[in-house]
């Protein structure tokens, strides 16, 4: 059966409507997939933020304990603390001066 010239616009119109329906379905699928991906990313970011907040609190607590322990140690052993600080200063000074004496490579 041959298509007449009057059937062509109707066939093109039906074909265009079918393509539009397929495109609409595909766009809906892509949109749904994008929403799911964004939801997963947001959930992961929220979980990570909670974990980082917990870790920050743990580190702050550890810092307070170390500072407290250091203060108590210095109060209980002031002479030893002073000797350790002096030795650390001498070592730092020694290493700093050795680097000054080395020739530059440039």
Domain ranges of the chain: 9-100
pTM given for the model: 0.47
Q: Is 81 exposed, middle or buried (0-12, 13-18, 19+ CB in 10 A)?
A: middle
How high is the pLDDT of residue 3? 53
Q: Per-residue pLDDT averaged across 79-87, rounded?
A: 96
- pLDDT of 106 > 80? The answer is no
Give the CA distances from residue 56 to residues 39, 42, 44, in Å, rounded to whole numbers and listed in that order: 26, 21, 18
How high is the pLDDT of residue 12? 73
For residues 103 and 88, what is the distance between their CA atoms, to the nearest angstrom?
Answer: 25
Average pLDDT over all residues of the chain: 87
């Amino acid at each position: 059966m041959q298509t007449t010239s009057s059937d062509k616009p109707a066939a093109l119109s039906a074909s265009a409507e079918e393509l539009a329906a397929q495109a609409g379905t595909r766009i809906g699928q892509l949109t749904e997939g994008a929403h799911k991906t964004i939801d997963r990313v947001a959930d992961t970011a929220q979980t990570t933020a909670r974990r980082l907040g917990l870790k920050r609190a743990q580190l702050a607590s550890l810092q307070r304990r170390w500072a407290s322990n250091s203060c108590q140690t210095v109060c209980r052993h002031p002479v030893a603390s002073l000797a350790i600080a002096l030795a650390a200063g001498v070592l730092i000074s020694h290493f700093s001066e050795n680097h000054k004496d080395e020739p530059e490579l440039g």
